Amino acid sequence: MPAIDHAEATRLWRLMCRIRRFEDRVHADAEADRLEGYVHTYAGQEAVAAGVIPLLRANDWLTSTYRNHGHAIARGVPLDAIAGELLGKATGVSGGKGGSMHVADQALGMIGAMGIVAGGLPIAAGAAFAARYRSEDRVAVAFFGDGAVHQGAFHEALTFASLFTCPVLFVCENNLYAETTAVDYHLLAGSVVAMAEPYRIAARRVDGMDVLVVRAAAAETLEEMRRDGRPRLIEAMTYRFNGQYEGDTQTYKPPEEVARYRARDPLGLFRAHLSSGGIVDERTLDAIDDEAAGEVASAFVAADAAPWPVAAAVTADVYTGDPVEAERS
Amino acid sequence: MTRELTIKDAINEALHQEMAADDRIVLFGEDIAGGAGRDVSYPPAADAWGGPFGVTKGLLGRFGRERVIDTPIAETGFVGASIGAAVAGLRPVAEIMYVDFIGTSFDQLLNHAAKLRYVYGGKISVPLVIRTVTGAGFRAAAEHSQTLYSLYTHIPGLKVVAPSTPYDAKGLLIAAIRDPDPVIFMEHKRLYMQRGPVPEEPYEVPLGRARIARPGTDVTIVGVQKMVHTALAAAERLQAEGIDAEVIDPRSYSPLDTEAILSSVRRTGRLVVVDESHPRCSLATDIAALAASEAFFELKAPIRQVTAPHAPVPFSPVLEDAYIPSPDRVCDAVHDVMAERR
Ligand SMILES: Cc1ncc(C[n+]2csc(CCOP(=O)(O)OP(=O)(O)O)c2C)c(N)n1
Ligand SMILES: [Mg+2]
């Protein structure tokens, strides 16, 4: 693993714990039927969000997907605003309009979390185009899954970004499945990296379970992009620990595969590295983890207690300037 | 006693029976079998899913991966390929997992499936079925809850059906599969578990024929798919007040059984249309316009439309509940049209 100092290590560890404890809570709530709607958790993939997003600058752009909780937490969206959104409360980051599949905070440069597979890629490319056009020193990052690479939107976004020199980083979180469909069944190119090369986009595949590996690759890639203004692609090999969405029985996953990836839990790997390397001791790691669990618990307490949106909000924000109509009496 | 099935199982049975009878039928869609690429290493994965709602469960086990084909997430590819396969002698049934995803393949339907026959002077047929899932009420937010009936109905060359009962789900799907033209078959996610009588043998419910879901004399309520049930619930309450509502389920939106709707409106003189879609350019406006232009002098009151607002579907339970037309709103609309004395 690449080197890391104590301060940076504890920051990353805290972030990964926040994501995991948040998703643990979401998973438990979903199992207990306390959450409504479609919920896709990020557990198992923490090293990708934690490896990339903290390296971004405050003015960089992001797009995400329905599997967005990890990206939102890494970008600094407050946990109670995410929990509030998941419960559909007025305090949610979008006032309850979007729910779990659309958690994004535009104040933090998150343009959106798209429910349509590959929907965010061309949009991120366009944000990067605007940055170049306006000579702004900022990049865009689009997170997407392995299943997205057969969409026209993937190919058209890569072409656009490469042809028009857009500083956009395409981050494919290859978690081996698109819903129940195994990546080795559909990915005829053999890798997502191989699909970027024909578009003259430099691409690399990394171990997406190792946060320091992801971080080193992302740091180098972002530096290159900020220098030459060209798009790049990172394919992070990872695994989702829960179902495609909460409630998925996951019968398509071979048990030995699950065990193999559980043994490479990104939190477990990082923890072992930090404690065995004498970078952060076990007690500190545990204390941080407990704090993260506490923050998550209080975020849900706040969300539970928060008010519902007013019904009149249904027709607000369809167009610019639409107010929340005064409630009819 | 007639056997009862859910809509989900009625659709499943229709697919089983038609596929057994006609080997030209192949199914395409994402995870419609499930576990593609894992059959060898992990046999139980085969057929584990049957799509996110389990509608196509069991078909893989019976018909194999040659005919129940899990596609990559590439709707333009498999919808377009279904058109080509249909032209070349197969009878594909393709699934767009949620109607909201139609944008990714719409060109193939809009410009090719719908127009091939006409543009080439009737020399080519596209016997294709697109099954897709509609509807709000699942807390599935803006990109997984739309209905979009009118988007398809607007296009000449496409047929559009949207059943609200298990009997119609089976019969309309069989008719759609046997039909020589492209048919969009819309399944409402909140109706999948709706139970009702379904004959065991295969049968067709003809496309373009409406159904009187409840006979009545005072007012005609036309419901669009799930809104048929909302209209029926309203009709029950209205009965208690002495208002006898007739509920019409068009079931088929293209072609539309205009005669059934008009003859009911001519009898009752009052019309309320209930549609879960946005109000503009909707089935509600279409049906209202039909009655206004063809039965104007028989109408005793202005037509009322009960629809969702001109807004995307919100996630929050309180917002979504306010969004979807309710029996209360239907009753209010009926009270309005009944108040008119002419
Ligand atoms: C255009 C489109 N088709 C289908 C879907 C349904 N769907 C949602 S997620 C998903 C699988 C995506 O897999 P992948 O891109 O690998 O992302 P992951 O869920 O593994 O993070 C599918 C098919 C969709 N949302 N959009
Ligand atoms: Mg995936």
Name residues contacting ligand 1 (CB within 6 A): A 67, 115-117, 145-148, 173, 175, 177-179, 244; B 30, 73, 75, 97, 101, 104
Closest residue to A38, CB basis, from B77, B104, B144? B144
One domain for residues B266 and B160 = no
Residue B240 belongs to some domain of the structure: yes
Residue A177 has φ and ψ, to the nearest 5°, of -140, 140
One domain for residues B37 and B165 = yes
B319:A309 CB<8 A: yes
Task: Find tokens 């366009």 and name the residue.
Answer: A126
Dist. CA A23–CA A202, nearest whole Å = 33
Please indicate whether residue B144 is annotated as part of the active site: yes
- Confidence (pTM): 0.97
B76 shares contact with chain A (CB less than 8 Å): yes
Dist. CA A238–CA A261, nearest whole Å = 8
One domain for residues B256 and B326 = yes
Phi-psi region of B186 (alpha: psi -120 to 50; beta: other; left: phi over 0): beta
Last residue of a domain, one of B199, B227, B251: B199
Mean pLDDT of A207-214: 98
B310:A116 CB<8 A: no
Tokens of B300: 């005793």
Q: What is the per-residue pLDDT across A143-190, written as a single tens digit (0 to 9) for each?
A: 999 999 999 999 999 999 999 999 999 999 999 999 999 999 999 999
Cα-to-chain-centroid distance, residue A1: 22
Closest residue to B30, CB basis, from A85, A152, A179? A179
Helix or strand or coil: residue B254? Answer: strand
Helix or strand or coil: residue B210? Answer: coil
Longest dimension (CA), chain B: 73
* A6-328 homologous superfamily: Thiamin diphosphate (ThDP)-binding fold, Pyr/PP domains (3.40.50.970)
Q: What is the reported pLDDT for B2?
A: 85
Phi-psi region of A109 (alpha: psi -120 to 50; beta: other; left: phi over 0): left
Helix or strand or coil: residue B258? Answer: helix
Dist. CA A122–CA A160, nearest whole Å = 8
A94-123 residues touching B, CB cutoff 8 A: 95-102, 114-118
> Under a CB-based contact definition with an 8 Å cutoff, are residues A103 and A93 in contact?
yes
Q: What is the per-residue pLDDT across B108-123, written as a single tens digit (0 to 9) for each?
A: 999 999 999 999 999 9
Dist. CA B159–CA B184, nearest whole Å = 6
> Under a CB-based contact definition with an 8 Å cutoff, are residues A207 and A46 in contact?
no
One domain for residues B105 and B125 = yes
Residue span of the structural domain in which B52 resides: 2-199
Q: What is the reported pLDDT for B44?
A: 54
One domain for residues B278 and B162 = no
ipTM metric: 0.96
Go through chain B and tell me how many residues it has.
342
One domain for residues B95 and B194 = yes
Mutate to test the interface with B, among A85, A154, A195, A314 (most CBs of B within 10 A): A314
Nearest residue to B68 (alpha-carbon basis) of B94, B104, B90? B94
Angle at alpha carbon of residue A100, lines to A98 and A106, rounded to 5°: 55
Kindly provide the b/e burial profile for residues B183-192, where b requires at least 16 CB atoms within 10 angstroms of the residue's own CB: bbbbbbbbbb
One domain for residues B187 and B265 = no
Tokens of B297: 């002098």
> Under a CB-based contact definition with an 8 Å cutoff, are residues B87 and B120 in contact?
no
CB-count exposure of residue A37 (10 Å: 0-12, 13-18, 19+): buried
Last residue of a domain, one of B171, B199, B227: B199
More confident residue, B188 or A324: B188
Contacts of B286 (CB under 8 A, 6+ apart): B150, B153, B256
For chain A, the straight-line distance linking the first and the last C-alpha, in angstroms and rounded, comes to 63
C-alpha gyration radius of chain B: 20
Listed residues: CB within 5 A of ion ligand 2: A 145-146, 175, 178
One domain for residues B107 and B225 = no
Dist. CA A285–CA A273, nearest whole Å = 12
Measured from the Cα of A45, ligand 1's closest atom is 21
A150 shares contact with chain B (CB less than 8 Å): yes
One domain for residues B187 and B325 = no
B323 shares contact with chain A (CB less than 8 Å): yes
Dist. CA A306–CA A275, nearest whole Å = 39
Mean pLDDT of B223-242: 98
> Under a CB-based contact definition with an 8 Å cutoff, are residues B318 and A88 in contact?
yes
Dist. CA A235–CA A143, nearest whole Å = 10
From chain A, the residues in CB contact with B141 under 8 A are 37-38, 97-99, 101-102, 115
Closest residue to B38, CB basis, from A117, A178, A252? A252
B319:A249 CB<8 A: no
> Under a CB-based contact definition with an 8 Å cutoff, are residues A288 and A70 in contact?
no
In Å, how far is B78's CA from the nearest CA of chain A?
11
Closest residue to B73, CB basis, from A100, A147, A308? A147
Q: What is the per-residue pLDDT across A213-244, written as a single tens digit (0 to 9) for each?
A: 999 999 999 999 999 999 999 999 999 999 99
Q: Tell me how many residue pairs between chain A and chain B have CB atoms under 8 A apart.
A: 158
From chain B, the residues in CB contact with A116 under 8 A are 100-101, 103-104, 143
Dist. CA B133–CA B186, nearest whole Å = 6
Q: How far is the CA of B103 from the centre of ligand 2 (A)?
A: 21
Q: How far is the CA of B109 from the centre of ligand 2 (A)?
A: 28
Helix/strand/coil (H/E/C) assignment for every residue in A173-204: EECCEECCEEHHHHCCCCCCHHHHHHHCCEEE
Residue A1 has pLDDT above 90, yes or no: no
Average pLDDT, chain B: 96
Q: What is the reported pLDDT for B1?
A: 63
Tokens of B146: 């739309």
One domain for residues B288 and B325 = yes
Mean pLDDT of B5-22: 98
Residue B282 belongs to some domain of the structure: yes
One domain for residues B195 and B216 = no
Residue A329 has pLDDT above 80, yes or no: no
Domain count, chain B: 2
Share of chain A above pLDDT 90, in %: 95
Q: What is the per-residue pLDDT across A91-145, written as a single tens digit (0 to 9) for each?
A: 999 999 999 999 999 999 999 999 999 999 999 999 999 999 999 999 999 999 9
In Å, how far is B131's CA from the nearest CA of chain A?
18
Residue A327 has pLDDT above 50, yes or no: no
Q: How far is the CA of B101 from the centre of ligand 2 (A)?
A: 18
Mean pLDDT of B42-60: 81
One domain for residues B95 and B15 = yes
CB-count exposure of residue A62 (10 Å: 0-12, 13-18, 19+): buried
Q: What is the per-residue pLDDT across B53-90, written as a single tens digit (0 to 9) for each?
A: 999 999 998 999 999 999 999 999 999 999 999 999 99
Q: CATH number of the domain that B281 lies in?
A: 3.40.50.920
Give the amino acid at A227.
R
A151:B73 CB<8 A: yes
Dist. CA A240–CA A117, nearest whole Å = 17
Helix or strand or coil: residue A171? Answer: strand
Measured from the Cα of B144, ligand 1's closest atom is 25
From chain A, the residues in CB contact with B76 under 8 A are 152
Tokens of B261: 């709707």
Q: CATH number of the domain that B100 lies in?
A: 3.40.50.970
Mean pLDDT of A240-264: 95
Q: Where are the domains of chain A?
A: 6-328
> Under a CB-based contact definition with an 8 Å cutoff, are residues B103 and A116 in contact?
yes
Q: How far is the CA of A173 from the centre of ligand 1 (A)?
A: 12
B36:A37 CB<8 A: no
Tell how strand A232-237 and strand A168-174 pair up.
Answer: parallel
Closest residue to B48, CB basis, from A85, A151, A180? A180
Mean pLDDT of A197-211: 98
A153 shares contact with chain B (CB less than 8 Å): yes
Q: How far is the CA of B204 from the centre of ligand 2 (A)?
A: 40
Tokens of A81: 């605003």
From chain B, the residues in CB contact with A328 under 8 A are none
Last residue of a domain, one of B199, B220, B248: B199
Query: What is the DSSP-derived secondary structure letter of residue A43?
Result: T
Q: What is the reported pLDDT for A328?
A: 40
Tokens of B89: 């002698």
Cα-to-chain-centroid distance, residue A165: 24
